[in-house]
Every structure is written in structure tokens, then in C-alpha cells.
A and B are shown apart, each in its own frame.
Chain A
Amino acid sequence: TQLLEQSPQFLSIQEGENLTVYCNSSSVFSSLQWYRQEPGEGPVLLVTVVTGGEVKKLKRLTFQFGDARKDSSLHITAAQPGDTGLYLCAGVNAGGTSYGKLTFGQGTILTVHP
């Protein structure tokens, strides 16, 4: 089973602070997705990155895919209480016995205090 290490597991910050969440693996992914899940809801797709070195921006969120397509990061600028939730990265495996399967990271629980 290919693993996707996500860190940190928990993040508690004040409104206005910046933060970065990381997803790392020793395996190559053909694409990587970021989801946000609020309590009582299902995960909602934020972005998909496909090309090594790709950077995508979504308002205050910046997503980066590593050059070797083994890692990704999510950076949030000036966090707001509405950003609170569980952030999940998920990679589509590019080879091996898990080819084409989606692997989730362990998740980052973000709490932004007013």
C-alpha cells in the first residue's frame, strides 16, 4: 500500500495567521487532490494538481505539486474562522499494484480562532 504522509495532524491558529499543510510520499502520483471537510458534511474538492512543479491559487489558498510528483503543499494566507475544517490530500497512484487507486493522507484538522 502506498502511503501519503500528511502533516501536521492538528493546527490551531488565530485569525489572520498563515499556515502550510504538507503531503509527502516516497511514491509518484499521477495527480493529487485537496479536499476540505466541515463537520457533518462530506469532503469537498478544492483543487487537483497534475503537472510536477504546478502551482494553483484559489483566493487565499495556494497549492503546489512537487517537481517529482511525490509531494504537495497547501498554504493558506490570512486564515479566517471559515477555513476551519479537516483538510485531506489524496493522490492517484501512478504505478505498482495500486495503480490508478486513490490514497488519502491522514488529514489535518485546522481550527482558526476569531
Chain B
Amino acid sequence: DTEVTQTPKHLVMGMTNKKSLKCEQHMGHRAMYWYKQKAKKPPELMFVYSYEKLSINESVPSRFSPECPNSSLLNLHLHALQPEDSALYLCASSQFPGLAGGLITGELFFGEGSRLTVL
């Protein structure tokens, strides 16, 4: 069983809806990540939080809004999405962030993902 929990597992939303994805980890990790993954492709980094502060935003459109309420929780707020935003959204954590918010040797622990479909 993964120690990174994501909810919901599946989400269908219209282009005018507002919804949120949630992620939780209780491993004491101090870095948390949002990735977007299209079918049969590698994950693409969206955001990195280091010690609960946003350290990396990979030029993600503002219709995606991350939030880190505390060291265990990570949210991704969704608003006015487009059909091309349909994808698997993965949350991950690592024990420590590396320099510049990246990794040195820290392994990523992924959740099972939230499958998002935008109609």
C-alpha cells in the first residue's frame, strides 16, 4: 500500500466547474510534488513545495492552483479547465528537498494518482 494517499481516484468535471485534488502523507517528508501524466508518457513536473513553501512552478497555467496547508497535506485546486487537461495527476513526496527545490538523491514516493476527465 502506498503511503501517499490521493483523493479522489477519479474525477469528471465540466469546463466551468471548480474542484480540488487532495494528497496526504504521514512519512514526515518535507517536499511534496504535483505531476501530470498523459497515457504511456512520463510524469511532467508541475509544482514543488519545500518545507510548505512553493519552490518550483513549471510555468503551469493559473487554472491550476496548488496549496500546502501543512507539512502533510497538498491540494490542487482546479478551475475553468480545458479538455486537454484530462490526465492522471500524481502527488509525490520526498524526505528532503534538494538544492533549489530539486533533489540530490531523494527518492520520490508517489500516490496512486487522480484520474481527471474534463468534458
- A residues with a Cβ closer than 8 A to B are 30-31, 33, 35, 40-45, 48, 50, 86, 88, 90, 92-93, 98-102, 104-107, 109
- If A41-B112, A42-B113 touch, whether A109 touches B102 (CB-CB below 8 Å) is no
Q: Which residues on the B side are within 8 Å of A92 (C-beta)?
A: 98, 102-105
Is B90's CB under 8 angstroms from A100's CB? no
Is A104's CB under 8 angstroms from B99's CB? no
Please name the residue on chain B nearest to A97 by beta carbon: B100
Is A30's CB under 8 angstroms from B99's CB? no
- B residues with a Cβ closer than 8 A to A are 2, 4, 6, 40-43, 45, 90, 92, 98-105, 107-113, 115
Q: Which residues on the A side are within 8 Å of B43 (C-beta)?
A: 43, 88, 104
Of the candidates A42, A43, A90, A104, the one having the most CB atoms from chain B within 10 angstroms of its own CB is: A42
Is A33's CB under 8 angstroms from B110's CB? no
A31 to B103 CA separation, bound complex (whole angstroms): 9
Of the candidates A30, A31, A48, A102, the one having the most CB atoms from chain B within 10 angstroms of its own CB is: A102
Min C-beta distance of A8 to chain B, whole Å? 13
Is B107's CB under 8 angstroms from A48's CB? yes
Q: Which residues on the A side are within 8 Å of B113 (C-beta)?
A: 40-42
Instruction: For A45, give its contact among B90, B109, B112 (CB under 8 Å).
Output: B109
